């Protein structure tokens, strides 16, 4: 009795070489497409690194002197203590997204301090300590994060970015 006859008697179906090769190629192609889809989805799915995108505790409001600018690298923000209260400003320039830098040695345009302002190194936008645009191509002031108090400490919500058209005293958080 041949193998073909034995397969027929058992009610089975013999797989031809062509069908086996097609099945193998189809499986390989299917795995390849799954891999491409997985790579695509992981590339376009935002990943959270560090504390940015969550609530960040900044500290006791009493520890920040009036007219001080404190940089929080992990949270990507500047905390500015102005007479009206506190401002948590996103350090990304609204022009093209460069990282704005605080320059305490540059002349100031406000009456609070004689020196200090934000400067975008990419295209030269200049902002005061309120984040208000003074000059440059930026279309608006620096964006802000919402501030709150929790356990007597300032907390910035870096998942909630607020755009503004210009500086208003009511934008400051009173602690």
Per-residue model confidence (pLDDT) at position 12 = 63
**pTM for this structure?**
0.70
Q: Looking at domain 55-171, what is its CATH homologous superfamily?
A: Rieske [2Fe-2S] iron-sulphur domain (2.102.10.10)
* 9 — pLDDT class (breaks 50, 70, 90): low
Distance (Å, whole) CA 143 – CA 108: 20
Give the residues across from 115 on adjacent strands. Answer: 107
Please write the tens of the pLDDT for every residue from 36-80.
888 877 777 666 556 777 899 999 999 999 999 999 998 899 999
Distances (CA, A) of 145 to 53, 86, 107: 10, 11, 26
Element (H, E) at 90: strand 85-90
Please write the tens of the pLDDT for every residue from 21-40.
999 999 999 999 999 888 87
- Quick one: which of 136, 138, 139, 127 has its CA closest to 87? 127
Please write the tens of the pLDDT for every residue from 73-99.
988 999 999 999 999 999 999 988 899
Question: In Å, how far from its chain's centre is CA 64?
Answer: 25
């Amino acid at each position: 009795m041949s193998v073909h006859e034995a397969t027929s008697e058992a009610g089975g179906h013999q797989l031809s070489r062509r069908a086996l090769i097609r099945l193998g190629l189809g499986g390989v192609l299917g795995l390849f497409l799954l891999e491409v889809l997985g790579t695509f989805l992981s590339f376009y799915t935002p990943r959270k690194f560090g504390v940015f995108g969550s609530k960040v505790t900044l500290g006791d409001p009493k520890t920040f002197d009036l007219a001080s600018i404190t940089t929080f690298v992990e949270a990507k923000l500047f905390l500015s203590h102005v007479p009206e209260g506190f401002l948590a400003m996103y350090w990304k320039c609204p022009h093209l997204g460069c990282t704005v830098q605080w320059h305490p040695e540059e002349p100031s345009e406000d009456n609070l301090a004689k020196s200090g302002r934000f400067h975008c190194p990419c295209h030269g936008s200049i902002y005061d300590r309120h984040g208000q645009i003074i000059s440059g191509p930026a279309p608006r002031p620096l964006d802000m994060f919402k501030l709150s108090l929790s356990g007597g400490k300032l907390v910035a919500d870096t998942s909630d970015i607020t755009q503004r058209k210009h500086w208003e005293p009511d934008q400051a958080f009173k602690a």
